[in-house]
Structure 1
Amino acid sequence: MTEPPKTKQHNAVRSLGPRIVTRAYALKLMARTPQYQGNWNYGNAIHDANMVLGRIAVRAGHIDPELLTCN
């Protein structure tokens, strides 16, 4: 079985500027993950993609950042 998309690459893209490129990469990662369900890195890829999409949503104002704090 081949390896799932590398989360290290994803982490590098996560810090890049344009949200459109970053969002597209995260969505592509999510679309490719089902074929790797039996792989140990499957959950990491889904987690990383969701983290990126969540950050984009917060920056775009779709989620109130105060709701994300643990006070």
Structure 2
Amino acid sequence: MSRATRQIAIRTVLSARTYRLANALRKERDRLGLTQAALAEQVGVSRKTINTVENRRVYSFDSSGTQACGGAGQTR
């Protein structure tokens, strides 16, 4: 497999995970009746961070990002 092909495959997997995480975060936040600001305050991040994740403008996550979302969208 060429390097370019591997990079495309990695981006595809990350895009799918990001999409699942964004949807799971928004659904759970809505279910709890929280605004982005209220959720951000509870998990210790900015409202902009929550908005960025929900709008799928995220390219990688550290453990705190997935932990704040309860591991939503993760597959192993």
Which of 1 and 2 has higher RCO (CA within 8 Å, sep 6+)? Answer: 2
Fold-level similarity (TM above 0.5): no
TM-score by length of 1: 0.35
TM-score by length of 2: 0.34
